[in-house]
Amino acid sequence: MTDRLSDDLAALRTPAPAGLLPGVLLGVGLADRYVTRTAPIGPIYVAFNDHGVSAVDVADDPAAFEEWFEGRFGRRAFPAAGLPSAIGGRLDRAIAAGKPGSLPLDLRSVTPFQARVLLKTAEIPRGEVRPYGWVAGEIGAPSATRAVGSALAANPVPVVIPCHRVVRSDGRFGRYSMGEDANKPRLLEAEGLDVGGFAALAARGVRLIGSDTTRIYCHPTCRDARRISDAHRVEFRSARDAQRLGYRACQRCRPAAAA
């Protein structure tokens, strides 16, 4: 009798619908969707959920991305046919601008300190850079430069939160968390930064630029610094050097934060 019942039950077994597992996992918050978008460095994957955009990575192999996503976030990722209205066109605007704007983000994967670092980094204007020490100073943790670097390395949404705009204190571009390190200057060049000119300043030890007419000093990539003519341009190796000569810090780029 038992064997017959088992056979009857086995005969009733049917394969689960193909979309059942993704639907269940998505419904209970154990999975995200992802789409492909285009960035200045090429195609990228963008994952999202009900909280907002959760991850951005270089688009290459979908299976590799899904494996990486599950390993980092502890949940699955499935390809999506489209975007919800809460994200929609905001995503493309955020990628183009290099800042989140009104795009909702899911930053649950980072610590509160890391979130502070990322949100401050999102304030750096397009085509400009700041040193790690600037971010640390701006968030009220001037001695936490190394921790700032670690937070940026853990950025789950590069390009949208522009960690590529943060450079080493010596002016070198440093590492980049998405793809190869060369993607960092590529993104900055796409934003209009004179990458070669900035690198040349760094090689000469120039960290700040001042105007001998306004007596104000700035980060070299600040929009105000770029307007200084060669005849009135003064180069400084440090904020202390500028202040010693009576220069005051730019209120727009706030270079004193990195001092």
Residue 105 lies in a domain: no
pLDDT of 137 reads 96
Last residue of a domain, one of 74, 97, 120: 97
Strand partners, 46: 35, 56
| CA-only gyration radius of the chain, Å | 24
Residue 1 inside a domain? The answer is: no
pLDDT at residue number 8: 59
Q: Is residue 189 part of a domain?
A: yes
Per-residue pLDDT at 65: 96
- What is the mean pLDDT for each group of 10 consecutive residues in the chain (259 residues)? 63 57 61 95 96 95 96 96 90 95 96 98 97 97 96 97 96 91 96 96 96 98 96 97 97 89
- What is the Cα–Cα distance from 85 to 193, expressed in whole angstroms? 33
We report the CATH number of the domain holding residue 143 as 1.10.10.10
Q: Collapse the DSSP code of 113 into the 3-class scheme (helix H, G, I; strand E, B; otherwise coil) and give the result.
A: helix
Distance (Å, whole) CA 90 – CA 38: 14
Catalytic positions: 163
Give tens-digit pLDDT for 218-238. 999 999 999 999 999 999 999
The widest CA-to-CA distance across the chain, in whole angstroms, is 100
pLDDT at 9: 55
Same domain, 177 and 139: yes
- pLDDT of 18: 52
249 and 220 both lie in a single domain:
yes
Kind of pairing between the strands at 130-131 and 31-39: unpaired
The whole-number pLDDT of residue 55 equals: 98
Total number of domains constituting the chain: 3
pLDDT at 258: 78
End position of a domain, from candidates 44, 66, 97: 97
**Which residues constitute the domain of residue 166?**
112-200
Is residue 209 classed as helix, strand or coil in its secondary structure? strand
**Which CATH number is 56's domain given?**
3.30.160.70
Q: Residue 117: inside a domain, yes or no? A: yes
CB 159 within 8 A of CB 178: yes
**What pLDDT score does 91 carry?**
96
Tens-digit pLDDT profile for residues 193-219? 999 999 999 999 999 999 999 999 999
Choose among 67, 90, 91: nearest CA to 78. 67
Instruction: Determine contact, residues 46/32, Cβ cutoff 8 Å.
Output: no
